[in-house]
């Protein structure tokens, strides 16, 4: 939450490849996504790559060993996130990953 409050613009636009609501707009929606993830997943370990920067974009890869608290399924998550920055704040994020199962 600290990163969201510090780094994200008020009108942040977030895009996921899957889910009931693959697009979220605004800080409140992003806070909701973070809260949902925290409540629904147990993270056993996580790794984050160094960023790759190109002008006003940067990309990071994430690797996590998680358990879905709802169904008990444990699996590895791997995703790439691409962020766009404007005026020192993240204005857009897009995630690329395959849905488990």
Q: Is residue 36 part of a domain?
A: yes
pLDDT value at 78 more than 80: yes
Q: Is residue 38 part of a domain?
A: yes
Beta strands 57-68 and 52-54, pairing class: antiparallel
Q: Percent of the chain scored above 70 by pLDDT?
A: 98
Q: Is residue 65 part of a domain?
A: yes
Q: Is residue 82 part of a domain?
A: yes
**CATH number of the domain within which 12 lies:** 3.10.450.50
Q: Is residue 101 part of a domain?
A: no
pLDDT value at 99 more than 80: no
Confidence of residue 79 (pLDDT cuts 50, 70, 90): very high
Compute the mean pLDDT over every residue in the chain, rounded to the nearest whole number: 94
Tell me the backbone φ, ψ of residue 70, rounded to 5 degrees.
-75, -40
| Distance between CA atoms of residues 19 and 15, nearest Å | 10
Domain assignment of residue 82, given as a range: 2-96
pLDDT value at 53 more than 70: yes
Residue 21's pLDDT is: 78
Q: Is residue 90 part of a domain?
A: yes
Q: Is residue 78 part of a domain?
A: yes
For the ranges 3-12, 42-51, 91-100, which has the lowest average pLDDT?
91-100
Please return the burial class of 86, using the count of CB atoms within 10 Å of its CB with bins 0-12, 13-18 and 19+: exposed
For the chain, what is the domain count? 1
């Amino acid at each position: 939450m600290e990163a969201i409050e510090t780094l994200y613009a008020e009108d942040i636009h977030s895009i996921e490849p899957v889910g009931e609501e693959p697009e979220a707009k605004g800080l409140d929606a992003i806070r909701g996504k973070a809260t949902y993830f925290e409540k629904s997943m147990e993270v056993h370990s996580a790794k984050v790559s160094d960023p790759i920067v190109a002008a006003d974009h940067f990309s990071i890869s994430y690797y996590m060993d998680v358990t879905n608290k709802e169904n008990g399924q444990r699996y590895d998550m791997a995703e790439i996130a691409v962020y766009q920055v404007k005026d020192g704040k993240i204005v857009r994020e897009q995630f690329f990953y395959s849905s488990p199962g």
